[in-house]
Amino acid sequence: MANDMFTPGVVAGRLDAEAIAENFSDLHGQYDPHEAAVAADRCYFCHDAPCITACPTDIDIPLFIRQIATGTPEAAAKTIFDSNILGGMCARVCPTETLCEEACVREAAEGKPVEIGRLQRHATDTVMRAGLHPFERATDTGKKVAVVGAGPAGLACAHRLAMKGHSVDVYDAKPKGGGLNEYGIAAYKAVNDFAQSEVDWLLKIGGITMHYDTKLGETLDLAALQDSHDAVFLGMGLGGVNALPVQGGDDGKVMNAVDFIAGLRQSKDKTDIEVGRRVVVIGGGMTAVDAAVQAKLLGAEQVTMAYRRGKDGMSASEYEQELATSKGVRILYNAAPEAITDAGVEFAYTETVNGELRMTGETQQIEADMVLRAIGQTLSDAPGGLALERGKIKVDDAGATSVPGIWAGGDCATGGNDLTVTAVAEGRDAAENMHKSLMGEG
């Protein structure tokens, strides 16, 4: 992945395997039973719990925390999985600091919420480590459903449909399932191959057949799927990456941050991943943070994350921004890229006036031997015949598309906000609506 445009500073193995292993250790340690009990005791068990409202999957948070407090983490896990079958991964990657924990009464009163995410992980890990699957498949309905995309939305949809007795074929373009959870998040957020362990655990419900290396529009035809199945769910995510519209930004000499992250996720010990001495990451979202932090953990001496708007405009949460700076990443606000040069990146200073972004006329050059582009993704596999809106598949509140018999959810559809937990909710809810349709109930 070395970039021949820059200096020969992009190399693999900048740190030894031991140092990298330490840098990429689990971001949040697991609770032991006593720690979990102490943390659970902080919950007020609110009858009108605002944390439930803040959770996109509507987990009964006070109930599962009470179950942990009473020494029954298995029951707590069942409560979680009833609403969110990927509750184990969501406990690791969900921005709880801006969702359930931000809404926590303890946060409002004391500035320190109940650690809901870590408690959720304690419960789900307890059950998954034991190999238990708290659901049984209903009697076979004779109905067959195709799910395109083995990411959070597709997996949640497939599990709910299988649980209701339908047979499900899941197709994915990658050689592994998991989607964003497997290929798109920071390696330190889900260690020990957790994403694949979760896929294997989910498939214990039965009735789901996985088909990998099968891409819609290439080896997979939507019309053929409609002919061979009673319903279709599309959850293939966003495969394309937005271009960087500056001089030198689209000539193949700038690396996509998503590719950098995917390489890290699939590497055995990460000593084979090339990184520069001076890295610039362009973007202000979670992908930009994940790329910047991991570049630093790989041994980059200087990592700058540049965003064209101010701090408040960044989609990365305050927590993620603070995580980045704590690891030595410099965040440059109000800096819009103008050109990729031999020396690095030229930025123009910006300001926001009456809601509009303006250039101030000032510029600065940041040296870089590696540039990572993290400015959003786009739908690369838009199936013909489906109505689109804002570059995504248009769906109603139930996930139904403009074509009867086809539903969609997750990042490829209009309802989502690019979060794993939201994708799970959309896949689950679409499955419920699909089941009603398949059984003639609506």
CATH number, domain containing residue 212: 3.50.50.60
- Residues 100 and 163 grouped into a single domain: no
pLDDT of 4 above 70? no
The verdict on residue 2 lying in a domain is: no
pLDDT of 221 above 70? yes
pLDDT of 258 above 50? yes
**Across residues 381-391, what is the average pLDDT?**
86
Task: Read off the CATH number of the domain in which 68 is found.
Answer: 1.10.1060.10
Per-residue confidence (pLDDT) for residue 169, from 0 to 100:
98
pLDDT of 68 above 70? yes
Quick one: pLDDT band at residue 239, thresholds 50, 70, 90?
confident
The verdict on residue 3 lying in a domain is: no
Per-residue confidence (pLDDT) for residue 359, from 0 to 100:
94
- Residues 123 and 150 grouped into a single domain: no
- Residues 83 and 189 grouped into a single domain: no
**Across residues 190-199, what is the average pLDDT?**
96
Contact, 162 vs 234, CB < 8 A? no
- Residues 125 and 160 grouped into a single domain: no
- Residues 314 and 420 grouped into a single domain: no
Per-residue confidence (pLDDT) for residue 1, from 0 to 100:
46
**Across residues 215-230, what is the average pLDDT?**
95
* Total number of domains in the chain: 3
Quick one: pLDDT band at residue 73, thresholds 50, 70, 90?
very high
**Across residues 297-303, what is the average pLDDT?**
97
pLDDT digit string, tens, across residues 98-154: 999 999 999 999 999 999 999 999 999 999 999 999 999 999 999 999 999 999 999
CA distance 137 to 159: 9
What are phi and psi for residue 210, nearest 5 degrees? -95, 140
Domain boundary, last residue among 331, 349, 376: 376
Structure token digits, residue 119: 């408690």
- Residues 43 and 168 grouped into a single domain: no
Per-residue confidence (pLDDT) for residue 9, from 0 to 100:
80
Per-residue confidence (pLDDT) for residue 225, from 0 to 100:
97
pLDDT of 252 above 70? no
Q: Which residues contact 99 (CB under 8 A, 6 or more apart)?
A: 54, 55, 56, 421
pLDDT of 6 above 90? no
**Across residues 206-234, what is the average pLDDT?**
96
pLDDT of 253 above 90? no
pLDDT digit string, tens, across residues 308-349: 999 999 999 999 999 999 999 999 999 999 999 988 999 999
The verdict on residue 395 lying in a domain is: yes
pLDDT of 442 above 90? no
Q: Which residues is 331 bridged to in the sheet?
A: 305
- Residues 44 and 154 grouped into a single domain: no
Range of the domain at 234: 144-239+379-438
pLDDT of 38 above 90? yes
pLDDT digit string, tens, across residues 118-132: 999 999 999 999 999
**Across residues 403-426, what is the average pLDDT?**
93
- Residues 197 and 246 grouped into a single domain: no
How far the first Cα of the chain sits from its last, in Å, is 52
Which residue pairs, CB below 8 angstroms and at least 24 apart, start in 27-31?
27/92, 27/186, 27/188, 27/189, 28/92, 28/117, 28/118, 28/121, 30/118, 30/121, 30/122, 30/125, 31/118, 31/119, 31/121, 31/122
The verdict on residue 134 lying in a domain is: no
Per-residue confidence (pLDDT) for residue 2, from 0 to 100:
45
**What is the reported pTM?**
0.94
CA distance 141 to 138: 8
pLDDT of 250 above 80? no
- In 10 A of CB 233, how many CB atoms? 31
- Residues 325 and 357 grouped into a single domain: yes
- Residues 220 and 110 grouped into a single domain: no
Domain boundary, last residue among 129, 163, 182: 129
**Across residues 22-30, what is the average pLDDT?**
92
Domain boundary, last residue among 322, 352, 376: 376
Quick one: pLDDT band at residue 246, thresholds 50, 70, 90?
confident
The verdict on residue 99 lying in a domain is: yes
- Residues 286 and 384 grouped into a single domain: no
pLDDT of 368 above 50? yes
- Residues 86 and 122 grouped into a single domain: yes
